[in-house]
Amino acid sequence: MYIVILAGGSGTRFWPVSRTAKPKQLISITGDRTMLQRTVERVLPLKPKRIMIVTNVLQAEETKRQLAGYHGVPIDVVAEPVARNTAPAIGLAATIIAAHDPAGVMVVLPADHFIKDEDALRDTLRATQRTARNGYLVTLGIMPSRPETGYGYIEADMDLRGEGPFPVRRFVEKPPLAEAVRYLDEGNYFWNSGMFIWRCDTILDEIGRHMPDLATLLATISFNNDVWELSDLAGQIEAVFSRASSISIDYGVMERSDRVQVAPVEMGWSDVGSWSALPEVMEPDASGTVSVNTSGHIAIDSSDCLVYGDGRLVATVGVSELIVVSTPDALLVCHRERAQDVKKVVEELARSGKTGYL
């Protein structure tokens, strides 16, 4: 088993802690290890042959620094020269692994997700290896706990007996509330986690079938005798990514392939998409407030806030449902219901030329 971790995201909704050089996956949202480090640590018990981190050139050095202390499993860091979404990144990783082990089983995981029950993830990956080896593209579907409108869904064909994996009928974009309620009631819809397991040659075959332009570009990559000397590939990777289209693996392959199956899993999962997601991964205090990286929080007639204090004591008086995030050079205050709009601050900073805050 090979583990590929996608770590090229920008994490703009976690500004001002998340910045261009240190986005969400490279920071500690919960006050301890970074999200990338937690992702690596949760797969080490699987004893993978290698771990490959696909990031971008701006984050490559910090990624290497954070992973320097892990031993026992080779860890490769591959830097994308430009962001091209998940299909080119996954295709590149599969091409590199296939040059050494064409039938190798490849697990793809995002670097910035939270998983409470890590044993459940590992058990699911072990159990789905046989399905992957039989030539299927397996995606992990999260058992929904609420009618969530912020996630995509996967509809499974569960008419056959068993516990899965099940054939996928269709992928559904983020639904309106009424649809999400119906999905929950019907019981055969799962949240789309963006986690996959398949053989390298299988995903490359499907890229060739459904994304021939990308397949042609990937086929130009040639290897010397030492496949894993990845620094030798930098020029070839730049040539591929300069011509590749930006497209997700879901749209490019998964929604079009007839070889997709979904493995349901319940593991306390969150994509931690914004500051407002912290109550999903951390226990609130008596006032309903989650406080991170503070020397203390004093709540006077305050409740249901999210506080990131940069080591400071934070006091809130007479407020509720606020997000307060302090860093040495910036302060964010917003309503919890507007957490998704933090990315607009980043857009405005870029527009106004205040790049020192990005």
Same-domain pairing of 103 and 177: yes
Same-domain pairing of 237 and 282: no
Q: Does 345 have pLDDT greater than 70?
A: yes
> How far apart, in whole angstroms, are the C-alpha atoms of residue 259 and residue 180?
26
Same-domain pairing of 350 and 236: no
Nearest to 132 by CA among 104, 158, 159: 104
> Mean pLDDT throughout 217-243?
89
pLDDT at 140: 98
Distances (CA, A) of 159 to 19, 156, 215, 240: 46, 9, 35, 42
pLDDT at 31: 64
What residues have CB less than 8 Å from 147, skipping those under 6 apart? 177, 180, 181, 183, 184
Query: Poorest-confidence range of 85-89, 230-234, 320-324?
Result: 230-234
Q: Does 79 have pLDDT greater than 90?
A: yes
Same-domain pairing of 48 and 144: yes
Same-domain pairing of 50 and 133: yes
Q: Decide which of 270, 286, 309 is a domain's last residue.
A: 270
What residues have CB less than 8 Å from 173, skipping those under 6 apart? 152
Same-domain pairing of 310 and 253: no
Query: Poorest-confidence range of 22-31, 222-231, 290-299, 334-343?
Result: 222-231
Kindly tell me the burial class for residue 248, based on how many C-beta atoms sit within 10 Å of its own C-beta (0-12, 13-18, 19 or more).
middle
Q: Contact 239/218 with Cβ under 8 angstroms?
A: no
Q: Decide which of 235, 270, 305 is a domain's last residue.
A: 270
Q: Decide which of 226, 245, 270 is a domain's last residue.
A: 270
pLDDT above 90 covers a percentage of the chain that reads 79
- 20-56 pLDDT, tens digit each: 888 889 988 776 789 999 999 999 999 999 999 999 9
Same-domain pairing of 286 and 243: no
> How far apart, in whole angstroms, are the C-alpha atoms of residue 213 and residue 207?
9
pLDDT bucket at 279, cuts 50 / 70 / 90? confident
Q: In sequence order, what DSSP letters do the residues of 206-250 get, joined into one string?
A: HHHHH-HHHHHHHTT----S-TT-GGGGHHHHHHHHHH-----HI
pLDDT at 41: 96
Q: Contact 201/213 with Cβ under 8 angstroms?
A: no
Domain of 9: which CATH number? Answer: 3.90.550.10
Nearest to 270 by CA among 163, 66, 110: 110
> How far apart, in whole angstroms, are the C-alpha atoms of residue 50 and residue 303?
46
Q: Contact 293/300 with Cβ under 8 angstroms?
A: no
- 110-157 pLDDT, tens digit each: 999 999 999 999 999 999 999 999 999 999 999 999 999 989 999 999
pLDDT at 206: 98
Same-domain pairing of 223 and 202: yes
Q: Does 258 have pLDDT greater than 70?
A: yes
> Mean pLDDT throughout 269-291?
88
Count of domains in the chain? 2
pLDDT bucket at 349, cuts 50 / 70 / 90? very high
pLDDT, the chain, mean = 93
Same-domain pairing of 180 and 304: no
Distances (CA, A) of 319 to 20, 137, 280, 295, 312: 31, 48, 21, 20, 19
Same-domain pairing of 87 and 28: yes
pLDDT at 7: 94
Q: What is the pTM of this model?
A: 0.92
pLDDT bucket at 161, cuts 50 / 70 / 90? low
**Which residues span the domain enclosing 302?**
275-357
Q: Does 86 have pLDDT greater than 80?
A: yes
Same-domain pairing of 181 and 287: no
Q: Contact 198/132 with Cβ under 8 angstroms?
A: yes
pLDDT at 164: 83
pLDDT above 70 covers a percentage of the chain that reads 99
Q: Contact 11/112 with Cβ under 8 angstroms?
A: yes
Number of other CB atoms surrounding residue 357 within 10 Å: 16
> Mean pLDDT throughout 189-194?
96
Same-domain pairing of 150 and 298: no
pLDDT at 202: 98
